[in-house]
Amino acid sequence: MDSDREIPDSIRHLAGITKLAGYVADADARDIILVGKTNHGLPELHLEDLVIALRNVWNLYAQRHGQVIERSDPGCSIDPNPTVLSELRNLQSAVFSAHGREQVEPLLTQYKEIAESPQKVRVLGVPYDTRFASTMVTADYDMKRIVDGSDNLELQGFQGLMDRMLARAKADMLAGGSTSIPGSMMNRFWFYPGSNTYVESEGVVLIKTCPVALLTEEQHLNHGGTAVEGTGAANPYAKQFADDFTDYYDRIAEKRPIYTELQNLYRFVALAKILKHKSAIAQSGADLDYLFESYAVPHTHVSRRLPGRYNLKTFEHRIDYDNGYETMRAWLPSCGGVGISIVVDRNNFVHDENQIAESTARKVIEFRPNTDTLAWGVPPACRLVD
């Protein structure tokens, strides 16, 4: 292909594949063949996302600073100004020390104004104004609404973090005790790779598992080993929320497709790292120079700053006193990010015990009409790894 205009729209969307399953290396045709499933109810895949994943893994976005070359896995972060965090902490303390509505309401108004201050958007490892970056930023930004409960997913058994804490506070107060909810908290959450496993046979690798996990600050430090601003400690409510989000991820993605799109990015990065780890491109003889060098990635605007998200839910438990009654209020700011730091080594690969990968490779090559065909189907009986 000599220009982007020659790429059919179907190929821009990977022939309708909605879930990438792996690849088959066809040395006879000098090709890398992508394999996947089609489900018309799921978001379509985008060639540009695959191109960005490949270029990232092959370090084409690495930057040289003198004698040092810096690279990063794809990621993003939406962070408030440290001064804003300090002001919010001070206001939290002030609100919990205040007495009565007349003192509390002005502080909450001030809190809302500061919490909604613009936050800096950082994109790592990939070009800023791309669909790939936009997907990461949107998933992170929308996750904050699930955290604070302003986006009610209506999933039985799943609660936003604020709703979880309010339920605990309500139970404490109705039991006549003091609440176990801390008076001042700021929790950070990151999307991060779960445990990846791949099934391989000669010339074929299928993705068995490639989950997206939500981690708290403490868990992120343990996984990434990188120092981040904050205490590094997660309160038990935040950790339970992160664990539940991870467990419910597929069901959440059914209601909010942005999380399916985020998971698609993780699969693209996993595929790119597998191809590099296995030297599959060189061994197959495939020529991917067009994707690495010539393909023009479309422009997608990504904001450099986004307003902080704020939500306030109140629970009032009335206990009459001579001078009034007691009221409980709670609120929660949040920040975090996305990190697609997938590691591929020999420990991720498992043997093709049921010969699923081997059978897939055979059927994919057998049902290709000719070597000029860019996309084709295989029988439903050709089972892929989930």
27: pLDDT confidence band, cut at 50, 70 and 90?
very high
* Token duo for residue 46: 């985008």
On the question of pLDDT at 135 being above 90, the answer is yes
Considering 221-225, 273-277, 339-343, the range whose residues carry the highest mean pLDDT is 273-277
Q: pLDDT over 90 for what percent of the chain?
A: 52
The DSSP code for 278 is: T
Q: pLDDT over 70 for what percent of the chain?
A: 79
On the question of pLDDT at 190 being above 80, the answer is yes
Handedness of CA 52, 29, 7, 206 (dihedral sign): negative
1: pLDDT confidence band, cut at 50, 70 and 90?
very low
* Token duo for residue 90: 């001070």
* Token duo for residue 91: 């206001």
Q: Report pLDDT for 173.
A: 63
Per-residue pLDDT reduced to its tens digit, 237-251: 888 899 999 999 999
* Token duo for residue 281: 């491109």
Q: Report pLDDT for 94.
A: 77
274: pLDDT confidence band, cut at 50, 70 and 90?
very high
21: pLDDT confidence band, cut at 50, 70 and 90?
very high
Q: Nearest to residue 356, comparing CAs of 378, 334, 337, 323?
A: 378
* Predicted TM-score (pTM) of this structure: 0.86
* Range 138-143, long-range pairs (CB < 8 A, 24+ positions): 138/258, 139/191, 139/258, 139/259, 139/261, 139/262, 139/338, 140/76, 140/77, 140/78, 140/191, 140/336, 140/337, 140/338, 141/78, 141/306, 141/309, 142/256, 142/258, 143/189, 143/191, 143/214, 143/336
Q: Report pLDDT for 351.
A: 87
Query: Which residue's entry shows tokens 């990190």?
Result: 339
DSSP string, 104-166: HHHHHHHHHHHHTSEEEEEEESS-SSSHHHHHHHHHHHHHHHHHTTSS----TT---HHHHHH
Distance CA 229, CA 240 (A): 21
Per-residue pLDDT reduced to its tens digit, 71-113: 999 999 988 777 877 787 777 777 766 666 677 778 778 877 8
On the question of pLDDT at 194 being above 80, the answer is yes
Q: Report pLDDT for 322.
A: 63
Cα 196 → chain centroid: 15
Question: Which residues, 6 or more positions from 41, have their beta carbon under 8 angstroms from its beta carbon?
Answer: none
Q: Report pLDDT for 114.
A: 78
277: pLDDT confidence band, cut at 50, 70 and 90?
very high
Q: Report pLDDT for 205.
A: 96
384: pLDDT confidence band, cut at 50, 70 and 90?
low
Distance CA 65, CA 225 (A): 23
**From 19-33, 37-51, 88-102, 168-182, the region with the lowest mean pLDDT:** 168-182
On the question of pLDDT at 275 being above 90, the answer is yes
Q: Report pLDDT for 230.
A: 47
Q: Report pLDDT for 118.
A: 87
Q: Report pLDDT for 229.
A: 47
**Radius of gyration in angstroms for the set of CA atoms belonging to the chain, rounded to a whole number:** 24
Mean pLDDT (the chain, rounded): 84
Distance CA 340, CA 160 (A): 24
Distance CA 386, CA 210 (A): 10
**From 29-33, 44-48, 164-168, 353-357, the region with the lowest mean pLDDT:** 164-168
Does residue 122 come out as left (phi exceeding 0), alpha (psi in the -120 to 50 range) or beta? beta
Average pLDDT of the segment spanning 252-270: 98
Considering 69-78, 114-123, 181-190, the range whose residues carry the highest mean pLDDT is 69-78
Q: Report pLDDT for 294.
A: 94
Q: Report pLDDT for 12.
A: 94
Per-residue pLDDT reduced to its tens digit, 310-367: 766 655 555 555 665 555 554 444 556 789 999 999 999 998 888 889 999 999 999 9
Q: Which amino acid is at 24?
A: V
